[in-house]
Amino acid sequence: MKLVLITVLFTILSISANCQVLLAPNHLRCDFLLHTGNVSSRGLQVNKPIFAAINQKDQYQSAKIYGTRPVFNWEVDTSIKKVKAWRILVASSSWLLDRDKGDYWDSKKIKSTDTRAVYDGKALIPGKVYYWKVAVWNDEDAITPFSDNTAFFLSAKDSSNNISHYPLSATIQTPATIFKKDDNTDFLDFGKDGFGQLQLHLSSPVNDSIWIEAGEALKSNYELLNTNGNIRYIKIGLLVKKGTHDYLIHWPPNEKRNHRNSPILMPAYIGEVFPFRYVRITNYKGKLNKESIHRKMVFYPFDDHASHFISSDSVLNKVWDLCKYSEKATSFTGYYVDGDRERVPYEADALINQLSHYSVDPEYSMARRSMAYVIYNPTWPTEWSLQNIMLAWNDYMYTGDDSFLKKYYTELQKKLLMPLAGNNELISTTTGKQTPEFLKSIHFPEKFDDKSGLRDNVDWPHGSHYIGNEKEYDGEQDGFVFNDYNAVVNAYYYRALVLMQKIATVLQKKGDAKFYEEKEKEVYHSFQNIFLNPATGLIKDGDSTNHTSLHANMFALAFGLVPKNNIEKVVNFIKTRKMACSVYGAQFLLDALYDNDEDDYALTLLDATTQRSWYNMIRSGSTITMEAWDKVYKPNLDWNHAWGAAPANIIVRKLMGVEPLTPGFDTFQVKPELGNLSFAELKTPTIKGAISVSCKKSELMDAMKVTIPGDTRANIYVAFDSKKPDLIIDGQKSNLIPKDGFFIIKNVPAGKHVLITK
């Protein structure tokens, strides 16, 4: 009898061990938005069902879904190596969905290897709330439980670009420190700069008036900087009544803000915001504590826990924290804007913001809204028109969705600027081809400014009248010599053509794809003929100069325009120039260096402590990336400009080497290039789920741990060291042969993996 019981028990345990319990899909997105059922009031989340809130629009806000055929996305557990099918239910009530009834759409079992789908049910009616859930089948044809129900509100289309988006969020913050400077003055520090409003809860023994000062920077201990109009400062008087009362400080709008392009205005449900870290209150007769004063910080919804980075380099860690926080803090309008001074979306700001935002938070709608905005509201730099194509391609690679490419394809074609091309196949803004018809086609207003039309930029600012010990030339172009045909502009033109060929291929426009392929080859050869100096192997600035700048070479290298036999010469030249570019140009300098195996030198730029470094921003007192390296290089710089946050994406994409190989991260690479770091650990989000990479070096062994999300595969690069020639993958010795300095393990499935060399 005992033997029978033991046998039965052993059989049950064996069956249990072999029967894997599948977890339900999670992180459901509708039109790329998470938490579409959440409701907020003036930025603060409330516990109210969305169906009860949509008819009280003045009081409550929720995510707006505009597409009548929304895109659904979801994540699956790492135990699911490959999705083979899915079933989606969409219903008009949660009650129906709880009973597995989809009165609007029951897809049944759809064979598909995607974790995304486009709605294909009954026509959705704007103004109503819908509910959906999903289950999937794995590669063994086992089905998961259904996910939790998720609600979304289908909004009627409005006068915007109809990009689905969240309402703005807010959080209530207390001061990090309060200091009583003297009997008449209280000083408060919120720890970090942030865009927000000031809420006071004061108990005064008398009716009186007080002064409130708020600002981003200090002039000296407990004295706010009030002499630089772009490093923000404000002083407001407040009448305080006897007794205990609440007060909300209303910031006046900045009437001096540049209105050349209309700025993004704050929505009425939030009101005006102001960037500040410090507050000084004078003449208050009561006693302040941390509950007396709050900052209501405003931002686009942001998941602080979605990403993480730490390494053996304390300076690099601080740079990461600075840049990650910058993405959150500068999102206060719901668009990528150029800081507080103008609050205007610019293409270059949007490009760096986009890559950095994707790297630290799995959010895609803010980029899409900004992309749509800048298409119809262009700015003056020639190169930035071409960046529209780069923005669109990044969106496709990170989301896996081609709807933006389809919708704006003809507009992207115009942003190529092909009418500016001369007989040499290159484009120029100074050869008389900027006709009114051309400018209208790319949505320039009839009267733009005194120098109407596109103008070559290269880098910004063009002049600062300060050189110092760390740079040779005035301005941020490294002495670039502007000619009719400009190497930087045409490097962008070439890159845009390459991407347009890819976009046309994705959209199955075969004739266009062939045309762009031929055009990119013509531009490549013309670029070599006109800009390559055969005597030096370097790239000249223009068609009629022999001057060679950092910019001409770093953009050519970043965009694949340097012939293979000249790469070493170009790299060596670039390294002599150091950081002779702006915070914007640094994005492309670092891309070029990492893509050409210069991780040791690139790291010296990322963790530099010179004046022209990210650490200098921290040392200056800023907690958000600045518009320039230092105010001496741009006296009117601001302290809240996320185009300076390139390390947020460079650390993820290049130093830790996590980049999509196919659209939507179905496959991706992990190629850490750590330089002299002995340890680095990263968590970065994707549309498929979080990727984690941890690398640790020692004298005897190097170890890498990688977590690959469900339904994805990765190509993992492990650096080869002749002193540690053996590769062990998940406990098994490998016979792989290194190539170009790496062991390359292809198609690694979802799950946790350990790779060791010793």
What's the rounded mean pLDDT across residues 572-591? 98
Q: What is the DSSP letter of 566?
A: G
Regarding whether 322 and 466 lie in a shared domain, the answer is yes
Domain count, the chain: 4
417 and 274 housed in the same domain: no
Question: What is the pLDDT, as a whole number, of residue 449?
Answer: 52
Whether 642 and 749 map to the same domain: the answer is: no
478-495 burial, b for 16+ CB within 10 Å, e for fewer? bbbbbbebbbbbbbbbbb
Domain end position, chosen among 251, 282, 299: 299
Question: Quick check: 17 pLDDT over 60?
Answer: no
pLDDT band at 159 (very low <50, low <70, confident <90, very high): low
Q: What is the pLDDT of residue 262?
A: 78
Question: The domain spanning residue 60 has which CATH number?
Answer: 2.60.40.10
Angle between helix axes 550-558 and 567-577 (nearest 10 degrees) is: 130
Beta partners for residue 186, in sequence order: 180, 281
Claim to verify: residue 380 and residue 523 sit in the same structural domain: yes
pLDDT digits (tens, 9 = 90+) for 318-337: 999 999 999 999 999 999 99
* Mean pLDDT, residues 611-633: 96
In a domain, 112, yes or no: yes
Structure confidence at residue 35 as a pLDDT band (50, 70, 90): very high
CB 655 within 8 A of CB 682: no
The H-or-E segment that residue 747 falls in is strand 742-748
Peptide bond into 253 cis (omega under 30): no
Q: What is the pLDDT of residue 162?
A: 87
Average pLDDT of the residues in 436-441? 95
Predicted confidence at residue 464, as pLDDT, reads 78
pLDDT band at residue 467 using 50, 70 and 90 as cut-offs: confident
pLDDT at 228: 80
What mean pLDDT value characterizes the chain? 94
Q: Are residues 284 and 344 in the same domain?
A: no
Check: CB of residue 391 under 8 Å from CB of residue 371.
yes
Residue 256 binned pLDDT confidence (cut-offs 50, 70, 90):
low
Q: What is the pLDDT of residue 618?
A: 98
- Considering the domain architecture, whether residues 186 and 145 belong to the same structural domain is answered as no
Q: Do the beta carbons of residue 77 and residue 23 sit within 8 Å?
A: yes
The whole-number average pLDDT for the span 20-42 is 95
Segment (H or E) for 500: helix 487-506
Task: For residues 331 and 453, state if they share a domain.
Answer: yes
d(CA 12, CA 167): 52
Per-residue H/E/C for 164-223:
CECCCEEEEECCCEEEEEECCEEEEEEEEEEEEEEEEEEEECCCEEEEEEEECCEEECCE
- Is the model more confident about 83 or about 11? 83
Domain-located, residue 498: yes
Residue 491 resides in a domain:
yes
- Name residue 290's amino acid: K
Last residue of a domain, one of 626, 655, 684: 655
Quick one: tokens of 548? 């060679």
Q: What is the Cα–Cα distance from 692 to 750, expressed in whole angstroms?
A: 12
* Predicted model pTM: 0.95
Kindly state whether residue 542 falls inside one of the protein's structural domains: yes
CA-CA-CA-CA torsion for 702, 706, 712, 717, nearest 10 degrees?
-20
Does 397 score more than 50 pLDDT? yes
- How far apart (Å, rounded) are the C-alpha atoms in residues 192 and 621? 10
470 — pLDDT class (breaks 50, 70, 90)? confident
| 3-class state of residue 250 by DSSP | coil
What band does 452 get if pLDDT is binned at 50, 70 and 90? confident
Distance CA 221, CA 752 (A): 50
The answer to whether residues 455 and 570 belong to one domain is: yes
Q: How confident is the model at residue 7, as a pLDDT? A: 41
Do both 622 and 727 map to the same domain?
no
Query: Looking at residues 497-513, what average pLDDT do you find?
Result: 98
446 and 438 Cβ atoms separated by less than 8 Å: no
Classify residue 324 as exposed, middle or buried by CB count within 10 Å of its CB (0-12, 13-18, 19+): buried
| 615 φψ region: left (φ > 0), alpha (ψ -120 to 50), beta (else) | alpha
Q: Which distant-in-sequence residues (6+ apart) come within 8 Å of 345 by Cβ?
A: 264, 335, 336, 337, 338, 370, 373, 374, 377
429: domain CATH number is 1.50.10.10
Q: Is the pLDDT of residue 19 over 80?
A: no
Going from the C-alpha of 754 to that of each of 113, 250, 684, 694, the distances in angstroms are 26, 55, 18, 10
| CB contact set of 101 (below 8 Å; sequence gap of 6+) | 89, 91
CA 626 to CA 612: how far, in whole Å?
Answer: 11
The pLDDT of residue 448 is above 60: no
Rg (CA), the chain: 28
Lowest-pLDDT choice from 19-28, 196-205, 421-430, 499-508 = 19-28
3-state secondary structure of 16: helix
Mean pLDDT of 639-663: 98
Distance (Å, rounded) from C-alpha 662 to C-alpha 667?
5
Burial of 751 (0-12, 13-18, 19+ CB in 10 A): middle
* 521-530 per-position pLDDT tens digit: 999 999 999 9
Mean pLDDT within 253-258:
64
Q: Is residue 262 in some structural domain?
A: yes
Confidence tier at 445 by pLDDT (50, 70, 90)? confident
Query: What CATH number does the domain containing 206 carry?
Result: 2.60.120.260
For the ranges 106-115, 227-236, 275-284, 370-379, the lowest mean pLDDT is seen at 227-236
Same domain, 243 and 343: no
Q: How many CB atoms lie within 10 A of CB 242?
A: 12
Cβ–Cβ under 8 Å, residues 46 and 39: yes
**CATH assignment of the domain containing 689:** 2.60.420.10
pLDDT of 14 > 80? The answer is no
Cα–Cα distances in angstroms (integers) from residue 106 to residues 91, 96, 138, 684, in the given order: 9, 12, 19, 34
CA distances to 128, 131, 157 from 92, in Å:
8, 6, 20
Among candidate residues 607, 623, 655, the one where a domain is terminated: 655
Same domain, 114 and 244: no
Q: H or E segment at 443? A: none
Confidence of residue 414 (pLDDT cuts 50, 70, 90): very high
* pLDDT number for residue 229: 80
- Has residue 254 got a pLDDT over 80? no
Q: Give every strand in the sheet of 667-670, ordered side by side.
A: 658-660, 667-670, 713-719, 742-748
**Average pLDDT of 720-740?**
96
Quote the pLDDT of residue 55: 87
- Within-domain flag for 436: yes
The answer as to whether 397 is a domain residue is yes
pLDDT of residue 282: 97
pLDDT at 2 over 50: no
Helix (H, G, I), strand (E, B) or coil at 557: helix
- Residue 477, domain member (yes or no): yes
Phi, psi of 646 (to 5 degrees): -55, -35
Q: Do both 526 and 502 map to the same domain?
A: yes
Query: pLDDT of 529-545, one tens digit each?
Result: 999 999 999 999 999 99
Could you say which DSSP state residue 474 is in? S
Residue-level pLDDT at 67: 86
Give the domain extent around 175: 169-299
